[in-house]
Chains A and B, each alone.
Chain A
Amino acid sequence: MLQLQEISYETGGRVLVDAVTLHADTGETVGLVGPNGSGKTTLLRCVYGTLRPSSGHVLVDGTELTGAKERARRIATVPQDGQSAFELTVREVVAMGRSPHKRFWEPDTAADERLVTEALARVGVLDLAERAFPGLSGGERQRALVARALVQQPRLLVLDEPTNHLDIRYQLDILTLVRGLGTTNLLALHDLNLAAYFCDRLYVLQRGAVVAAGPPAQVLTPGLLAEVYGVRADVGVHPATGAPTVTYLPGPGAGPDVPRPTGERKSSTI
């Protein structure tokens, strides 16, 4: 479904994404994990088109996308930057998702409005439809934007940290929702436990390159966490969920780059 072939992105002499090759099959939820600055966001931007990769190809269903509009018909995302000061209603914001399928002067039809209503209901914000979008809470807003992505009727849903700034309940809600949509999903996630539970496969990025890939149980190992994140961790299988569960262990013995506290104060020079 989605294939990234040797995607690289360079700016100002720095390589932010380094020859990433990745694929997602139809209906699969693929997670992208890695520490801050590992290139997750940059890579996703290359996929949904706000950045142009320096080299490599993004293929959806075997064809390379050209132009913002064609891309928006296949790939939907929930962007990070906020809405403007002007108040649109939630319904108006969600209805924007029909734009990629329209000529610019075409009005929305009854069928479009039905799609919007369905999407609002599916993410559970139908009762907020006529409210002003900027007045929503973070969780409600995120849901509305997922509804907008649904209205785009994409082949692929790309989400960059969809759980950012959300309460734990909403984090679970939004990921359960995304999982249940039946779309192919590519998610960047911060929380390894959520990633392990909700994703079919994970790609681990470090300094812009993929260092591990596979099902969560294979990828999330104490050795990898020490190497990539520089932390000591224990990985077990949770009895209730059956998913790998990471427990971070404080104290010494973390990664190779982390200096150990020596326990002595070198105060003799003062």
Chain B
Amino acid sequence: MRRGSKSEARRGGKSEVRRGYLLVIVSLTAALAVAAVAGLALGPVRIAPAEVVRILTGGAEPSPLRTIVLDVRLPRVLLGAVIGAGLAVIGTVLQALVRNPLADPFLLGVSSGASAGAVAVIVLGIGAGAAMSVTIPAAAFAGAMASLALVYVLARGRGGAMTGARLVLAGVAVAYILSALTSLLLVTSADANHIQEVLYWTLGGLGSARWDMLALPAAALLAGTLLLLALARPLDLLLAGEEGATVLGLDTGRFRAAVFVLTSLLTGAAVAYSGAIGFVGLMVPHAARMIVGASHRRLLPVAALGGAVFLVAADLAARTAAAPQDIPVGVLTALTGGPFFLWLLHRGRSAEGVAA
């Protein structure tokens, strides 16, 4: 048997690999710019891309178009980019953390906690009216933190060491309990309006984006993403397995606990504003891995950019496809992401051939 000539050709030499990586980053950045301009230009009112760029660069006098671009669409595009990048990075990290390719930001119970919190506020009508835009994210975040604490305690067990398997079991168990509580709240409330609102929230959407609520999630997700980027080396070590990571000098129990808390905080921040937008955090990491490999130093920036591009584009589609109806973007991410994922898997398998 010849030594996997296919995979050698695919990966090429070392310098070729580096040039290829730069090309990926540049293309994704360009794609993000295009998606953002399209997101600002398209909608009920169509604005020429040139006009969008002129408004963005400050070259336009106050006008209705300027208001639409800067005050209505820009915060939504920015929120989409930040949340898309954040979810993709969190998903990538969690897949390494629990060594399970099916992990996503919502596996470990955080989104169920957030949903329980948000639904409690909606159903019980706490802070009804204008204040809901503050109380729902606050309650969602509180719910996420409660589930985090619960999972953390359960996953530590009596031994104190947090393994990937314990973490998944504790997370899934807490997720089920909290979803059951959410359903119980909904069923007993029996108000059709509530159900509509809750459904929209649990499917996930960026419709709530406004300048005054952008700063918090944006700052949290940006800082968290940068921090996770700095953890590329120990995250790689986790890929060597529990024993492999330990003998390479990583205190796996402590590291896993710290990263779990960090990713849960970030997930909580994302989910609090946008609901549980699914599939970004599952699919984008895999797509990124297929393009640049599993080493986190290369993988995480690509996942972040890819997640941003994907969610901005998906949200644009969600706003315009059935206008004036605003489809929850979570529905679209699953609808478009699923087939794309299957195609990538299929393509990946035939390209791997001998090597796999």
CA distance A71 to B243 in the complex (A): 14
Given the complex, which residues of B lie within 8 Å of A99, measured CB to CB? 233-234, 237, 248-250
Q: Evaluate contact between A102 and B233: CB separation under 8 angstroms.
A: yes
B interface, how many residues as a size bin? 35 or more
Q: Pick the residue among B96, B293, B297, B356 that contacts A89 (CB under 8 A).
A: B293
Docked complex: B1-27 residues within 8 A CB-CB of A = 3-4, 7-8, 11-14, 17
Contacts of B240 in A (CB 8 A): 79, 83-84, 93, 96
Q: B99 contacts the other chain (Cβ, under 8 Å)?
A: yes
- Flag whether A100 is at the interface (Cβ < 8 A): yes
A79 to B248 alpha-carbon distance, docked (Å): 10
How long is the Cα–Cα vector from A102 to B240 in the complex, in angstroms? Answer: 17
Complex Cα spacing A152 to B12, Å: 27
The reply to whether the CB of B355 lies closer than 8 angstroms to some CB of chain A is yes
Kindly specify which of A19-27, A129-137, A181-189, A232-240 makes contact with the partner chain.
Answer: A129-137
Known: A88-B294, A93-B240, A102-B233. A131 touches B355 (CB 8 A): yes
Interface contact A86-B8, CB-CB below 8 Å: no
Contact B101 A86 (CB under 8 A): yes
Contact among B231, B249, B289, B297 for A73, CB-based, below 8 A: B249
With A130-B13, A132-B7 as given contacts, are A86 and B294 in contact (CB-CB < 8 Å)?
A: yes
Q: B244 contacts the other chain (Cβ, under 8 Å)?
A: yes
A173 within 8 A of B: no
Does B247 contact A96, Cβ atoms closer than 8 Å? no
> Does A260 sit within 8 A of B, measured CB to CB?
no
Q: What is the distance, in angstroms, from A115's C-beta to the closest C-beta of chain B?
A: 15
Contact A96 B248 (CB under 8 A): yes
B197 interface residue, CB < 8 Å from A?
no
For the complex, give the distance between the alpha carbons of A93 and B4 in Å: 18
Inter-chain contact A84/B99, CB cutoff 8 Å: yes
B241 touches A82 (CB 8 A): yes
Q: When the two chains form the complex, which single residue of B101, B231, B247 contacts A76, counting CB atoms closer than 8 Å?
A: B247
- A residues 29-50 in Cβ contact with B at 8 Å: 48-50
Partner of B247, one of A72, A102, A106: A72
Bound together, the chains give a CA A48 to CA B243 distance in angstroms of 10
CA–CA, A80 and B242, complex, Å: 10
Within A128-154, the residues touching B (CB, 8 Å) are: 128-132, 134-135, 152
Give chain B residues whose Cβ lies under 8 Å from the Cβ of A77: 247
Select one of B3, B4, B236 contacting A88, CB under 8 A.
B236
Chain A interface residue count: which class? 35 or more
Minimum CB–CB distance from A117 to chain B (whole Å) comes to 10
Q: Mark B223-247, 1 if CB is under 8 A from A, else 0.
A: 0000000110110110111111011
Kindly state the separation between the CA atoms of A152 and B230 in the bound complex, as whole angstroms: 21
Closest to A105 in B: B230
B249 touches A135 (CB 8 A): no
User: Nearest chain A CB to B354's CB is how many angstroms away?
Assistant: 8
Chain B 339-356 against A: per-residue CB contact (8 Å), 1 yes, 0 no? 000000000000000111
Task: Tell whether A6 is near chain B: CB-to-CB under 8 Å.
Answer: no
Set of chain A residues within 8 Å of B246, measured between Cβ atoms: 49-50, 68
Determine whether B251 belongs to the interface, using a CB cutoff of 8 Å to chain A: yes
B133 to chain A, nearest CB (A): 37
Contacting residue for A104 out of B99, B233, B243, B356, CB 8 A? B233
Q: Does B295 contact A (CB under 8 A)?
A: yes
A69 interface contact, C-beta 8 A: yes
Q: Which of B236-268 contact A (CB under 8 A)?
A: 236-237, 239-244, 246-251
What is the CA–CA distance of A97 and B248 in the complex, to the nearest angstrom? 7
Q: Is the CB of B241 within 8 A of A96?
A: no
Q: Is the CB of A88 within 8 A of B243?
A: no
CA distance A76 to B249 in the complex (A): 10
CB neighbours of A92 from chain B (8 A) = 236, 293-295
Q: Which residues of chain B are near A105, meaning CB under 8 Å? A: 230-231, 233
Which residues in B have some Cβ–Cβ distance to A below 8 Å?
Answer: 3-4, 7-8, 11-14, 17, 95-96, 99, 101, 230-231, 233-234, 236-237, 239-244, 246-251, 289, 293-295, 297, 354-356
Using A68-B246, A92-B295 as known contacts, list a sample of 6 further A-B pairs with CB atoms less than 8 Å apart, ordered by residue number in A.
Answer: A79-B247, A82-B241, A87-B294, A89-B293, A96-B237, A129-B14
The 5 closest A-B pairs by CB, nearest first: A72-B249, A100-B249, A86-B294, A69-B249, A135-B355
Could you name 12 residue pairs across A and B whose Cβ atoms are closer than 8 Å? Answer: A49-B246, A50-B243, A50-B247, A67-B251, A68-B251, A69-B250, A81-B241, A84-B96, A86-B101, A86-B289, A89-B11, A92-B294
